[in-house]
Chains A and B, each alone.
Chain A
């Protein structure tokens, strides 16, 4: 077997490669590195590459695409418009468009692809034990690519994602994708250009106001899509998720790639959700620093070179699940039945109708939910979730027992765990601990967080180190959250309302869902369905019983209910701290740049004094999400004053929000429900009801 050199604790993976995934409906995985370890990388890189391509494709060079874009009616129209408005000659604007295209355009070359095929083989083999792919997914993709234009929508957790699919498609002899990349990559010497040659095209981070840029960019993407030139790859999440939780989708690029179908310029378009799961994320510590406000290093070639020391580390297995291609035509059928583009020439820039915007948003959420559904969860994810509820130290045996218990629960909730049938829990936990030795370790039969830096640091430093460890650990627990969120919010709601009346529990659930709408992924507008799903899953694991009007926890269900609400406690508490900060500490409008350090200091002080244990409230991600939720709830208003966004808090509303979560400060480690007293409970209910009225 190929992995003979790796450590003992991982050897079980090899023995049981046949059937690793417990859930039966899932596809089998195949390790593509295995072949690489057995044969020459050079020969692989130089192999005869005759990819499967779109049936209607007439081959053309990257430059031909650029000139087609420049000559297109769409771009020419905008050029003429701008020329008229600014009183300039169209030639000058055309020149500008050309420059934009040159900056943006990829120049895919087989040579560069082969170079990456070679180097990535070397790097991947060094970093990862296995890179596993569901072969059925690849076969489905192969059919899809021939049939219609294809859009690849991978999840985004690491820079490794970036060329992973190209590597995969090269391996399987499929047409290589063109990849939407942030313009910052171009700042990297050589690497930027190399990426360009490997098929990356570059988009500026914000170009809302620039009509020429928008026209050129969207036409560039659409031209490639319409002609079936190559699969188009981009990240719905827009950026790497620093928390391993799926980020709420960005709609811009998605609406661009959907347009050719909506305008019937193509018969159909396939959207392919792809889940890339990392057993250990390459950037885990970088992310934690970043979340705590230590800025992310700018993309630079020297930075990349410095990062090479990680090559000596072990990052476990990557699972790539290529989902079922989703036909856009099928999604749209019965939904967009009007002919929205029939009355205006199709080349005129047109703001999509509300119908269409809503459709784009629904498609985006649907794709992300499909990504989430097929994320592969490692046993370590379960360990992390349990550990975070049992800090600072946990008995090893208990941990094993709990892990096994959580495994069952996760599977009941539809989580996709990589856990070979014959693997005992002890080995699974141990191997997780080995791989993640930087986060937690086994000391005297207890598992403890690896949060000790220098022995005698200042209080601040200890808090910081601890926050780092917790945030890193949370990154893994987070992978469970979107699987758990529906039943868990029902559990939280049950505890908050202290009522068994379905209606009340639902009100509370629905409120929580709104508050956390940027934190977790919910399909828009189906609160009731989500609630029912949550209840169904809780019933399935015997945690609750439901009747027509009531929901009540069963005797043995209280363990599950407490566990689930404790799992989401950091968010409830974190949001409350943030709301508190906003209602108490800010009187005037603020910018995001002011808010984040403000909250951070506020929480930091509370942590230093031991008044809270909610380290996760330090995460800038949570702070931003909370702010977005507040804007949506109308508690904070967004204003634009001279290029800066200001947020204006409505203090009263905020107070009630903070109260709504109804948790006493300081928080102890006691179980969630213990902090309740009768009076608070009443006011909480009152507030929630009041709030819901306001929201309606």
Chain B
């Protein structure tokens, strides 16, 4: 077996949960919540109110604990079945590979709740038989050729952060499944400062891309919540969206050129231009294809100079309705900052519970004063009010000007500026929330997020109805504790918004929590569709949401996609069964 490269990265990460091994929420000896590690701002801090929040919100108790298996039981893992002829051909290419159980399990899943649950307590029925690590475009070409020759199934793997069951291996797949890990294709090939573009290999993960570009004074500005771990190729394959899309655009706005290896050959364009009128844009077959057509190997992406100045901010609104009205107005005036999000009351309280212990009596006094001002003096009900968090970016002067414009609008909707700190904590929440799920799993709390996009006039109705539906479904399905059902308007557009939901509940007393969870999630999705929301704004379809594709894009639409798949990959080499 050839020594492989994947292990370095893999060993930093949890095998049965989200993110880095050294970063997690724990309850310390005093019973207080604490976040470990030094990677995040929250690292090493004690969160005095978090425990109480968990107990109050979920009815969970520290005494009732479940524990995950400590490590992978290699004996449970399905054996690797690989044809010797293929192995010989593969060895000849000098591409590194592995049939090791841990390597294969690591690439057999994304981060859906049920997948993590299986890792903690069970085993997948089908996992990849072999993992390969191409280091460049040519390697990928060779692997795809071999797969066609030996009739194998390839499942491309980038950062492994999928939340649509996209990485799960189809159980009924009889052929050898090759997990094509792109992580070693992680170089920036060139930077073109004149045109402000960079050509990058598709396996690079978001944080490395930004770090390396920053060395030359650039950034892409594409920051999905998973950017620490997700890869450029994955963004393209799922039609990703970044937090700062208001300035930089979503992935479809950022991409200038894509090179993809398919069973039919390589697909790319002949030039790298801002726009062309040459029939339907072939990029749009690739973006969102979810690994069903081929492997994206190289992407030319727009870059921008690193902004001079960044400023967080936040606004408190008396209620969610006013907040949404304000965001709508901001969108109408097209003056949205790099990011603007509106969290509902439950999520505001959630964020509040993650407030670290204050350093001095003075800050604590100030906090008290602020709270007094907002709730008593301004008459905001702490159980109804909601908060918008803001992130401004650009020239210092322009940022300040922009900030004033946005705050002026907010004032018209009854909003009160609530400081930078609240804003920053709001954004931090997005990065640590996935870690919180792992903590919840230890205490019988399971949860997940899901998202949609919706026209402005339906935002309020959709948020209210979906949250209510979740609460009801929980009750009907025998969940004994009230669930956490909360949302935020997380992106604004001219014609609508992206809404993000968090949903979690305490499953004590339920025998099959995952099944119950899935039923409720499905009901919530039905509710979204009935309220005029989309099947997905940026998570993608995968296998989790396939059943609604026909309804979403019509029979003919589905047929159009199918015919592309049939032409590009007639033998279904890219057989992950996503999307269609």
Contact = CB atoms under 8 A, between A and B. Distances in A.
B468 interface: yes
Interface residues of A, number: 10
Interface in A244-272: 264-265, 267
B461 A345 contact: no
Interface in B246-262: none
A264 B465 CA distance: 8
B465 A339 contact: no
B531 A264 contact: yes
Nearest to A260: B461
Contact of A346 (B457, B464, B469): B457
Interface in B135-168: none
Contacts of A345: 457
22 contacts: A264-B458, A264-B461, A264-B462, A264-B465, A264-B530, A264-B531, A264-B532, A265-B461, A267-B464, A267-B465, A267-B468, A267-B469, A337-B530, A338-B551, A339-B529, A339-B530, A339-B532, A341-B532, A342-B532, A345-B457, A346-B457, A346-B458
Nearest to A338: B551
A267 B464 CA distance: 8
A259 B462 CA distance: 16
Interface in B277-310: none
Contacts of B532: 264, 339, 341-342
Interface string A336-359: 011101100110000000000000
Given A267-B465, A338-B551, 18 more contacts: A264-B458, A264-B461, A264-B462, A264-B465, A264-B530, A264-B531, A264-B532, A265-B461, A267-B464, A267-B468, A337-B530, A339-B529, A339-B530, A339-B532, A341-B532, A342-B532, A345-B457, A346-B457
A338 B554 CA distance: 12
A377 B529 CA distance: 46
Interface in B436-484: 457-458, 461-462, 464-465, 468-469
A492 B159 CA distance: 75
Interface string B527-569: 0011110000000000000000001000000000000000000
A339 B551 CA distance: 9
Contacts of A341: 532
B528 to A, nearest CB: 10
Nearest to B529: A339
A662 B465 CA distance: 58
A360 to B, nearest CB: 18
Contacts of B465: 264, 267
A681 B465 CA distance: 60
A341 B458 CA distance: 11
A338 B457 CA distance: 19
A49 B464 CA distance: 31
A174 B461 CA distance: 27
B9 to A, nearest CB: 43
Contacts of B530: 264, 337, 339
Interface string B513-533: 000000000000000011110
A355 to B, nearest CB: 14
A341 B465 CA distance: 16
A535 B464 CA distance: 48
Contacts of A264: 458, 461-462, 465, 530-532
User: Which of B457, B458, B468, B551 has most chain A Cβ within 10 Å?
Assistant: B458
Contacts of B551: 338
Contacts of B529: 339
Interface in A392-423: none
Interface string A300-339: 0000000000000000000000000000000000000111
Nearest to A263: B461
Interface string B38-81: 00000000000000000000000000000000000000000000
Nearest to A265: B461
Nearest to A346: B457
Contacts of A265: 461
A345 B531 CA distance: 12
A342 B496 CA distance: 13
B536 to A, nearest CB: 16
Contacts of B469: 267
Contacts of B457: 345-346
A262 to B, nearest CB: 9
A200 B302 CA distance: 64
B471 to A, nearest CB: 10
Interface in B483-532: 529-532
A110 to B, nearest CB: 27
A75 to B, nearest CB: 16
Contacts of B458: 264, 346
A342 B457 CA distance: 11
A337 B465 CA distance: 16
Contacts of B462: 264
A451 to B, nearest CB: 59
Nearest to B460: A265
A81 to B, nearest CB: 19
Contacts of B464: 267
User: Which of B457, B458, B462, B530 has most chain A Cβ within 10 Å?
Assistant: B530
A311 B529 CA distance: 58
Interface in B224-246: none
B402 to A, nearest CB: 31
A178 B380 CA distance: 32
Nearest to A264: B531
Nearest to B531: A264
Nearest to A347: B457
Contacts of A339: 529-530, 532
B473 to A, nearest CB: 12
Contacts of A337: 530
A345 B532 CA distance: 10
